[in-house]
Amino acid sequence: MESRDMIRMANQIADFFKGYDRQSALTEIADHINRFWEPRMRIALISFIEKGGEGLHPLVLEARQLYRRPKEFRPHERDTKPGPADSTAKDMAKAAAGYAPSEDH
């Protein structure tokens, strides 16, 4: 993703929430980015902010402390090592209840 697209998207989120009280706006911006931006996008945004974040809305910059930094994206690991995304909802419910997930994905 190009920086200008990332800046535009992040600023649109901030523009939506800027009418909220400051703390709610920061929380909602971070929640949106944490929930809907894929890990590579969050890594790019955090890196961009760490380099100064030029062009980003001040609320996007201030909400930085609430962004979850994903593990560095390593696509080759995905091919050989199943993770939570490979689990079915049924497996996750079983795990929450104390059962081991099925092996037949």
pLDDT value, residue 20: 98
What residues does each domain of the chain span?
3-70
What would the DSSP string read from start to end of 18-37? TTS-HHHHHHHHHHHHHHHS
Query: Which amino acid, residue 84?
Result: P
**CA 40/CA 7 separation, integer angstroms:** 15
Asked if residue 103 lies in contact with residue 95, where contact means CB atoms within 8 angstroms, the answer is no
The predicted-structure confidence for 24-61, as pLDDT tens digits, reads as follows 999 999 999 999 999 999 999 999 999 999 999 999 99
pTM over 0.75: no
d(CA 101, CA 92): 7
